[in-house]
Structure 1
Amino acid sequence: MIEKELEKPLKSLMGFDFGSKSIGIATGQMITMTAQPLLAIKAQNGIPNWDNLEQLIKEWQPDMLIIGLPLNMDGTEQYITQRAKKFANRLHGRFGVKIALQDERLTTASAKEFIFELGGYKALDKGKIDSVSAALILESWMSQYVIPS
């Protein structure tokens, strides 16, 4: 696992819910093992404004970026899976931050359910759904994290 290869303990994380029109972003802390939705940024055909992402990464200074990996329910890859992997590779190439991919099956459905419970249909804003999905992806990754020995 990638966790065994880390030379220093992780403290802060940034999670991404990749989409072709919108990318949800969340931050997380390993100390509390919790994540908070941050925002969603617009993308054109899966390509974000890289300057905006650079600003966020500089501001939050995450030790690792966790990118949601969209898979079919049977675990097979789909077209968007390859695009999410490409996005992850571009993040690593541009910013030099370690990355990890996390299975994101059902996170959007869970995010919608969570937001609906808090505020009904009016609260189901696309940006909010994407950023909550990013937080769920982060929390899912953290729940599987093994502390290096």
Structure 2
Amino acid sequence: MSAKALPSSGSSPQTPQTFLAFDFGLKRTGVASGNTLTRTASPQATIAAEGDARFTAIAARIREWQPDALVVGVPFHPDGASHDNTVRARKFARQLRGRFGLPVMEVDERYSTTEAIASGAADADAASACIILEQYLRSLP
């Protein structure tokens, strides 16, 4: 699993940054919030919407949390090969970047949903978004 580094935002290393992470799905999108101060993530209510309705709900979350950047989980086959959902998640990341003008990092999210279900999470989508965000936060210097 790998994460792309956050582009320099001109802030000092001591300035905490806030993130929203997304576990993209066709019908549901898991959401988590977190920051560089605690390097932990908290699940938020999963967005059960498609198309523009999904982006309306995301816009409300962005207004609420005022994140410095967004993180999107991108799924791959176990051998690292892309599949249809890889393409969909990357398109979603591009749409977020274009609609909201925030930096968007992509994280290899192989096994995040499996891990979330195994942990007994009540909302596997939100728990998966937490796993994705915490993985990204661990990758930061």
Above 0.5 in TM-score? Answer: yes
Looking at structure 2, the residues matched to 82 and 90 of structure 1 have their Cα atoms a distance apart, in angstroms, of 12
Corresponding residue number in structure 2 for 1:21: 27
Work out the percentage of aligned pairs sharing the same amino acid: 37
1:130 aligns to 2:125 (yes or no) = yes
- Any residues of structure 2 matched to 1:32-111 within 5 Å, and which? 32-44=38-50, 48-111=53-116
Task: Tell me if the contact between 1:42 and 1:48 (Cα under 8 Å) persists in the aligned partners.
Answer: no
Looking at structure 2, the residues matched to 63 and 37 of structure 1 have their Cα atoms a distance apart, in angstroms, of 18
1:143 aligns to 2:138 (yes or no) = yes
Which TM-score applies when normalising by structure 1?
0.84
Corresponding pairs, count:
135
Kindly state the Cα deviation for residue 50 of structure 1 after the two structures are TM-superposed.
1.6
Corresponding residue number in structure 2 for 1:114: 119
Task: Tell me if the contact between 2:31 and 2:126 (Cα under 8 Å) persists in the aligned partners.
Answer: yes
Which of the two has greater helix per residue? 1
Task: Tell me how large the CA RMSD over aligned residues is.
Answer: 1.7
> What SS does structure 1 have at the residue aligned with 2:119?
helix
Task: Call closer, same or farther: CA 1:90–1:6 in 2, change over 3 Å.
Answer: same
Which of the two has greater strand per residue? 1
> What SS does structure 2 have at the residue aligned with 1:81?
helix
Corresponding residue number in structure 1 for 2:10: 7
Task: Tell me if the contact between 2:97 and 2:104 (Cα under 8 Å) persists in the aligned partners.
Answer: yes
Runs of 4 or more, structure 1, over 4 Å off, are none
Kindly state the Cα deviation for residue 26 of structure 1 after the two structures are TM-superposed.
0.3
> What SS does structure 1 have at the residue aligned with 2:70?
strand
> What SS does structure 1 have at the residue aligned with 2:120?
helix
